[in-house]
Structure 1
């Protein structure tokens, strides 16, 4: 019994010694399998990092490669009016052309005043300004358009400034509309083989020498010229000639007729000189009003001129006609309003009608005055 009990005790101790070996062996097998299958974690397939997957899903996908969002500005709709400005590209290099389109949708009964910019629009040089043909929409509204080609020579983020236009309603009320600024990125031209720009070298001036011979020749020429002038004066060659009697002055309407005929022969509208054309015509009418009513008109604004005519009690009908005519001229001269070409040509005829309606017919030899003036000029030419 003692021997048997001792055998059993030895076997129990052997099983207790074998348990750690089994645990170590299982741990080694699990480690090998884990290394061979790849280190994976729940929720992250293929061992990928959660941070990398988040960055990938956050990548923008709204624009195609190389695409650009074109600026599109507008004032919205108010009483059927829509003003919109756009460009063909928002990223250019220095000096590249930018096509700027201005579109105004308005009621057919209204009138738009879209001034043309000068040689520059902010930091952008205006290379072309063209009026697009009008279009009539299905709802009866009219679309006016302007196409402008711009260039910029300053690098960086620039803005095409807002453009302000006027809209005259059927009731005669004027409303100012303004576009939003359009951002443009101007990039520098930097080729791969470009070298650093070197400073400009200082100017080298030639030595100043005044040979004595040239100085003496110059003094001699000055002395001869002075002697010739004194000699001519003594002989009376430079004596002032007696002028004949001044020709009789013409009435204001005859002077206006002559000036309007001269302007019509200049073809300023055909040559595209619209501002000069309206300036000439308005000055003729202003001089006529000054001669006809005795008002110093050339230094007055249109409003001050009309107020002066009211003070001397000019007929209200004539004041309204002169005011409408001068207002149209001011729109072209100062607001750069461009009416149709046929209406421009008709301004000379309208000015003549104003003179015809308001002139004073005085009895007298008006044709003789013209003959005397022409004969006196011809006599001066013959002399």
Structure 2
């Protein structure tokens, strides 16, 4: 029993290493089992076997216990060396199955042409030409007259030729979008031509190149009207255009340094002669105008002017007009007094040569005091003007007799103070009359005669 327990303990301390299963191998070979010791059988499980249960010894009698016999010393059995795991070679990858060779009598099938929808086919006719076939309608777009290298600023002539059956009509969109190009003209159409029993419609647009690089002229909408008045909406194929750079041969294109302003002297003879001729004509016209004015003035001075009308004639004519207007009969005393006063003041100014219409009554009497008037004293003029002012400003209502007397006094004063012989010009009337007593005598006699 002791030998079996010792062997179990030794086996538990040095167990056999487990078998390793390498993952990469598809089918790993199991490791060989370790050979058991000749005298001991290995436990079926790698786990240590549990120790056997010992029954307790019966309690000794009170007699003295005998000395325990020492257990025999057992040498531990050396554990077997673990077997190294066998090296496994990775399985080779499976070789790809070669494609079956074609029979020499079979030819490769060509790539089908691009189709958009049922019945539509798109073909490339060249670097700048495309063709779209949609049923009975064929649309070819191309760039006509394009240079070998297209640069920014080049005007491209885009042309679309639409082939339709007889009786069809084709109209382009009025304002198609052509970005990144600029449309330089509206879509132009020509009269359709009959070619091979079909109609060919031609549409042209001028496009301006704005950017370099690979650019695409977009699809242009077209409206096709069939012979049954059915409208079809089709798009002209787009074109891909390569725009070359203007500085393609320079590695580092940059602006060249400025050379500065350049002095350019040029004599503009056209401007010089224009200024000379224009100045001469202007100067000649000015001289002719001055000479004509001088001649006209000299001729005007030679023609004698008619003598001015005497002041008393103008005054008597106006007073007679006032009397015939019938203002007194209508009771318009204020208007009557105002007109008589203004006529009388105007006569005094023309007679003695001063501006009397803008003067007050006091200023007028003071101005008359500077002239020798023998026909009437100054009080006579002052009284007459005050009567007129009472009606104009004080709103005094006079009688009919007073108004008739006012008119009569004005006429009499004009007649008695007029000149015996009127001067031939107005300039003489501005001078005061000579201080002689003959001026007032004649009017007085005329008044006495009346």
Of Structure 1 and Structure 2, which has the larger fraction of its residues in helix?
1
TM-score scaled to structure 1, two decimals? 0.30
The alignment's TM-score, normalised by the length of structure 2, stands at: 0.26
